[in-house]
Amino acid sequence: MTQATIEYASELMKIPDAREMVAEARDICDAVPAVYEELADTTVPVNVKHVVIDRIFPLGVRNFLKLLCDNGDFGLFYEIIDEYREQMKKPREVEAYGELIYVTPPTDEQMIGIRDFLGKEFGNKDIELTMKQDESLKSGFIIRVGSKEFDWSEAGRIRQLEERLSRAVTEGRSRSEDNIISILRSTIEDFELAAADKEIGVANWVGDGIVNVDGIDHANYGEIVIFDCGVKGMVQDVRRDEIGVVLFGRDTEIHEGSRVVRTGKMAGVPVGDEYLGRVVDALGAPLDGGAEISTDTYRPIEMRAPGIVDRKSVSVPMETGILSIDSMFPIGRGQRELIIGDRQTGKTSIAMDTILNQKGKDTICIYVAIGQKSSTVAKLVGTLKNAGAMDYTIVVSATASDPAPLQYIAPYSGTAMAEYFMYQGKDVLIVYDDLSKHAVAYRAISLLLERSPGREAYPGDVFYLHSRLLERSARLSPEAGGGSITALPIIETQAGDVSAYIPTNVISITDGQIYLESQLFFSGQRPAVNVGLSVSRVGGAAQRKAMKKAAGSVRIDLAQYREMEVFTQFSSDLDDATKKQLEHGRSLMELLKQPLGHPFSMADQVIILVGANAHLFSDIPTAEIQDFRAKLLKYFHDEKNEIISRLESYLDLPDDLRKSIETECENFKSGYLEDKDA
C-alpha cells in the first residue's frame, strides 16, 4: 500500500455519503473493464477522460475520479477502494452534530455546497447533520451546528431586511434628515442577502427567573440574550461550560431546550427628555398607559462613575424645604444622603417633599421604586401629579410583583436616565426607594445562581452592588459638563438596628444620613428626624450663608435639651435658667414639626430660625406654636416683603438684617398676644 493510496482514500472519506457512489463506480469498472482501462491509460487525453466520467459516474465522486486522471493515478483505483473500505470499517468519530432545517429537501448539488461551506467554517470537522422539515421558513435552509446558526431561509432574510430598515429609519431621524424615503430606498438597494450568523444556545435549567444556558461560548457579562418566546434576559454568570441568565420577563414559556440567541448588546435603557413626566418600568417601557416613548438615545445601565478629575466639590445647596433638614443637615447638589429608619417613619415622605420643593428650581427628579406595592407607587404618582411635579419628574418602578432581576436593575436604569441629564449640565435628584429591597432582590438572584452566601445570606459583593451605584452620583466640573446627581437612597431598618449588614454598608458609602425614629414619629414629632444620630458630612459647604448664620446653635440647643429632659423628668422644682432652656428646647422641637407637602422657602426658614434663636417662641404655649409660626410668616409675606426679597437676593444675613427680623418678630408677637388677650 503506497502513501498515495492512503491519502487518496482519506480524500474519499471526506466526500459526504460517498460509500454508495464508490460502490457504484466500482461496479461500473467491473462490468465494463474497457472503461477502467481507458481511464487508467495515461496516453488517452485528460479531457476525453473527463467526458467519460461525466457521462457514466455518479455526481458525488466525479471530481475525485477526475483528480485521479489528472494526476495519472487511475491505475490505483482498485487499491484506493480497498483502502477506503478498510478506513470505513474503523469506528468513525463524529466531531460535531448539527441540524439542517428545510422546507423542500436539499438536492445533491445543494448538499455538496452545504458540506463545502461547513468544511470551510469548521475546519473540515466531521459533522453529522440531522434533517428536519419546517414549513415556517417559507423557503431556504437554516443550519445549526453547536452554538452557531446560519440562516438562509426566506423568513430569516425578511427579518434581516426589517432590522436594517428600522435601523436606517432611526439613523435618519437622529441626523434629522427629512428624506427618509431616499434612505429607505438606498438601504433596500444595498441589501445583500448574507446568511445571518448568530450564536445560539439552549436552556438546560429554568427556575425562579434564572436560566442556565448551554452552548453559548462567547457571551459577555451583562449582555442581553433573547429567548424563543421573546423574553429577554441578561447574562449574570459566566461559567466554564454554561452561562447563567436572569430573566426580565416570565419564565413560564421557557423550557428545557428553548433556544437562546446572543444579541451582542449590553443591558441598557432608552433615555431622553421624552421620559419627563412618565412612569416607566426598569427597561424604560411606559407603565402609565401613555403613548410609546420614542427616543433614539440608549445608555448602558452600568456605567463607570465619573473619575476624580471630572468631579467638583459640593457647593450648591439642594434645598429640601424641610426645616429640620435644611437647617441642621444641609444637602448639597452631588451629595449622597441616606434616609434611614424603620418601616412607616416617613422616609418616603421626606423624599417626596424634597421632589415637590424642586418646583421651579431647574432640577430634574427621578424616583426609583424598588419592591414596593403598586398601590403605594400609584398614590405617590397621584401626589406628584396634583402638585404639578410630574413635569420635571420620572418615576421608574419595579414593584414587588416584578421579577427580581427587574428590581435589581431598576436603580441602575434610573441612574442611566439621570446621567443623560447630568452630562448635559443639568442638576438631577434621584431617590432610590428603597435599597434594602434592592439588596434582597440581589440576594435572591445570587442564591439562585448558586453563589455562596455570606453574612445574612447576602453574597460577598453586595457592598459593591451599592457602592458602584452611589458612586455615580457626583457634581461634575465645568469641563466635564457641570451637571450633578444628588442621591437620596432610602434604607429600611428592623427595630432601629443600624448595625445590620446592609445599613452599615450604605451608611459607609454615603455622605451622611437622616435617621428617622419610630418613637419620635409616634409621639407626633414629624418629620421624625433624630438630631443626635443624623449627620451631613459635606452639605455644610453648600449651605447658604444666611441659613448657616440663622441656624446657629439650634443643633446644640436641641442636644442639650434632650439630655436635660431626661435628667429633669422626675424633679419638679427647677431653677430659672434650666426652665428657660427646657422651654426653648420644647419650642424648637415644636417648630421643627412640619406637615406633609408644606415646604418652607429659604427665606421662611431663616425668619423662623432667627426668631427661635432670639427665644421668641419660648413663652408661646406649645399647642399654639404652629399656628403662631404660620401667622408670623404670613405677616412677613404680606407686610414686610422687603425683608423677604432682601434675603432672597443677598443669600446672606448681615447683622442689620438679623436685627430688623428680630424687631419685626417682636412687633408681631406683641400684636398677636394683644389680640389673644382681647
Supply the residues annotated as catalytic: 537
Q: Is 303 helix (H, G, I), strand (E, B) or coil?
A: coil
> Residue for cell digits 402609565?
288
**Does 344 interact with ligand ATP (rule: CB under 6 A)?**
yes
Q: Which amino acid makes up residue 590?
A: E
Q: What angle do CA 322, 326, 330 make, to 5 degrees?
A: 140
**Does 587 interact with Mg ion (rule: CB under 5 A)?**
no
Q: Which is nearer to ligand ATP, 235 or 350 (CB)?
A: 350
Residue 83 contacts which entry, ligand ATP, Mg ion, none (Cβ below 5-8 A, type-dependent): none
DSSP 45: -
d(CA 357, CA 360): 8
**Does 415 interact with Mg ion (rule: CB under 5 A)?**
no
Give the contact letters, 445-484, x = binds to ligand ATP (CB under 6 A), - = no.
Answer: ----------------------------------------
**Does 244 interact with ligand ATP (rule: CB under 6 A)?**
no
d(CA 350, CA 514): 10
Q: Is 497 helix (H, G, I), strand (E, B) or coil?
A: coil
**Does 437 interact with ligand ATP (rule: CB under 6 A)?**
no
List the one residue out of 510, 517, 334 whose CA is nearest residue 418: 334
Cell of 651: 443669600
Residue 343 contacts which entry, ligand ATP, Mg ion, none (Cβ below 5-8 A, type-dependent): ligand ATP
Residue 360 contacts which entry, Mg ion, ligand ATP, none (Cβ below 5-8 A, type-dependent): none
Q: Which is nearer to ligand ATP, 168 or 502 (CB)?
A: 502
Find the shortest distance in angstroms from Cβ 510 to ligand ATP: 17
What is the H or E stretch that residue 417 is in? Answer: helix 404-422
Q: Which is nearer to Mg ion, 147 or 349 (CB)?
A: 349
Beta strands in 315-459 (DSSP E): 338-341, 363-370, 393-398, 427-433
Residue 2 contacts which entry, ligand ATP, Mg ion, none (Cβ below 5-8 A, type-dependent): none
Find the shortest distance in angstroms from Cβ 435 to ligand ATP: 12
Find the shortest distance in angstroms from Cβ 369 to ligand ATP: 10
**Does 399 interact with Mg ion (rule: CB under 5 A)?**
no
Find the shortest distance in angstroms from Cβ 305 to ligand ATP: 27
d(CA 646, CA 632): 17
Find the shortest distance in angstroms from Cβ 491 to Mg ion: 11
- Interacting stretch for ligand ATP, rule CB under 6 A, among 61-69, 175-183, 342-350, 539-547? 342-350
The per-residue DSSP string of 18-31 comes to HHHHHHHHHHHHHH
Q: What is the largest CA-CA distance in the chain?
A: 140
Binding to Mg ion (CB under 5 A) within 479-508 occurs at none
**Does 590 interact with ligand ATP (rule: CB under 6 A)?**
no
Q: Is 212 helix (H, G, I), strand (E, B) or coil?
A: strand
**Does 524 interact with ligand ATP (rule: CB under 6 A)?**
no
Interacting residue with Mg ion among 320, 324, 348, 446 (CB under 5 A) = 348
Cα–Cα distances (Å) from 490 to 336, 418, 493, 512, 525, in that order, read 11, 17, 10, 12, 20
> Residue for cell digits 439562585?
448
Find the shortest distance in angstroms from Cβ 296 to ligand ATP: 36
Respond yes or no on whether the N-terminal peptide bond of residue 655 is cis (omega within 30° of 0). no
> Residue for cell digits 480497498?
82
* Residue ranges that bind ligand ATP, judged by CB under 6 A: 341, 343-349, 492, 526-527, 594-596
* Residue ranges that bind Mg ion, judged by CB under 5 A: 348
